[in-house]
Amino acid sequence: MRSALVVGTGLIGTSIALALTRRGIEVHLSDTDEAAARTAASLGAGRTGRPPQPVDLCILAVPPARIGAMLAEAQREGWARVYTDVGSVKALIHDAAEDAGADLSRFIGGHPLAGRERSGPLAARADLFEGRPWVLTPGPTTSRDALNQALELVSLCGAVPVVMDTEEHDHAVALISHAPHLVAALMAARLEDAREESVRISGTGIRDLTRIAGGAPELWEDILAANAPAIAEVLAAYAADLEAAVAALRAVAGPDAEAAKRGAENLAELLRRGNAGHARIPGKHGSASFSYTAVPVLISDRPGELARLFAAAGSVGVNIEDVRIDHSPGREAGLVELLVDPAVADRLAADLAASGWTVQS
């Protein structure tokens, strides 16, 4: 690939453009919001405006509802040799493109599974896709050229290609992305009218659970509508489990000892299933899930403290696998949990304490 056109300069489109320009690809940027395109260009993502001649690959980074018609238009006007998209649903896009008369042999669906809570070109990062799955959904007529160009795009962005069919993809993202986002939003909505005393004592649990609820509502409205049947199917299963949990809790709190015992057993089974499901989520770099040990360290809320802590861990030869931060309410301090291999946790805690860090037991 020598040249590309990125249509849509939001977070994903601009991140793709930044990754491609970093690898020496000539990138053109197009957006109905000219200010967004200019901002992306100022970040080094490419040059604004349509290319004077067809590029090797056109990436449609616009809302899913617009992709089908835009693909047909782009092919009529000869924007590129082959085309792909980054929409988070695939069946709707495929059907819309077919209805619009697009040449599906020169198109392959794509969906990079990466993102941030922030949106727009200023949130873009060239390394956004490093090590992340990037689903490709070739159809029965997809040409080898289209597949090869898409695979090269994924490689240039540092992502990991995963080939799926459209229906399988849509069910998968409903399960692991779309329904969880809606559940997080529903949980966060409980806080809107909560008493101030309740919100004030919020900790990492509710913050972690509702983090993704901070996404742009207008973007998620389109996503949920585009994949509504698959999301509804997943939520129906959630609702059945939720109803069972409510019944179990009421039984546990009730006067009937036998019913309380059954309720406790049902709750234990739900928690067991939760553990089993969580264990199936891939760990770092797509490897098997691994249980790390947390080394909790109290740090002051001053610039450079976190970097100093990481440097201290690195100086004793310990790799930090993950990190959690909980800011202390009412104090300019925070509790940082360094997640490390259990085999080195005690040594790290001792070395940090010897260096003057406040390590909590």
Distance, CA of 94 to CA of 67 (rounded, Å): 9
Contact assessment for residue 67 and residue 87, using Cβ atoms and an 8 Å cutoff? yes
Q: Are residues 154 and 9 in the same domain?
A: yes
pLDDT for residue 332: 65
Residue 300: the pLDDT is 84
Whether 233 is covered by a domain: the verdict is: yes
Judgement on whether residues 304 and 252 belong to the same structural domain of the protein: no
Asked if the structure places residue 183 within a domain, the reply is: yes
Residues 15 and 87 in one domain: yes
Last residue of some domain: 279, 311, 338?
279
Instruction: Supply the angle between the helices 217-226 and 64-77 in degrees, to the nearest 10.
Output: 80
The CATH number given to whatever domain includes residue 247 is 1.10.3660.10
What pLDDT score was predicted for residue 217?
85
The reply to whether 49 and 76 lie within a common domain is: yes
CATH code assigned at 328:
3.30.70.260
Looking at the structure, do residues 33 and 79 belong to the same domain, yes or no?
yes
Token pair for 11 = 């977070």
Last residue in a domain, options 228, 246, 279 = 279
Name 340's Cβ contacts closer than 8 Å, sequence gap at least 6.
292, 293, 295, 313, 318, 319, 320, 321, 348
Give domain status of residue 286, yes or no.
Answer: no
Burial of 67 (0-12, 13-18, 19+ CB in 10 A): buried
Pick the closest to residue 122 from 14, 4, 220, 6 (CA basis). 14
Question: Based on the domain organization, do 15 and 157 belong to the same domain?
Answer: yes
In a domain, residue 111? The reply is yes
Are 324 and 203 in the same domain? Answer: no
Which among 164, 187, 215 is the end of a domain?
164
CA dist., res. 359 & res. 254, Å (int): 43
Question: 132 and 29: one domain?
Answer: yes
Shared domain check, 139 and 10: yes
Looking at the domain assignment, is residue 103 inside a domain? yes
Backbone angles phi, psi at 136, to 5 degrees: -120, 135
pLDDT at 303: 82
Q: Is residue 285 part of a domain?
A: no
Question: Do both 237 and 306 map to the same domain?
Answer: no
d(CA 241, CA 310): 41
Residue 75 belongs to some domain of the structure:
yes
* pLDDT by position in tens, the chain (length 361): 999 999 999 999 999 999 999 999 999 999 999 999 999 999 999 999 989 999 999 999 998 989 999 999 999 999 999 999 999 999 999 999 999 999 999 999 999 999 876 789 999 999 999 999 999 999 999 999 999 999 999 999 999 999 999 999 999 999 999 999 999 999 999 999 999 988 888 887 888 888 888 877 887 888 899 899 999 999 999 999 999 999 999 999 999 999 999 999 999 999 999 999 988 887 654 545 567 888 988 888 778 888 888 888 888 888 888 787 776 555 567 788 888 888 888 899 999 999 889 898 7
- Number of domains within the chain: 3
Contact 5, 79 (CB under 8 A): yes
State which residues form the domain around 40: 3-164
Residues 221 and 339 in one domain: no
For residue 47, tell me if it sits in a domain: yes
Q: What is the CATH number of the domain that holds 158?
A: 3.40.50.720
| Spatial separation of the C-alpha atoms in residues 61 and 161, rounded to whole Å | 18
Same domain, 47 and 97: yes
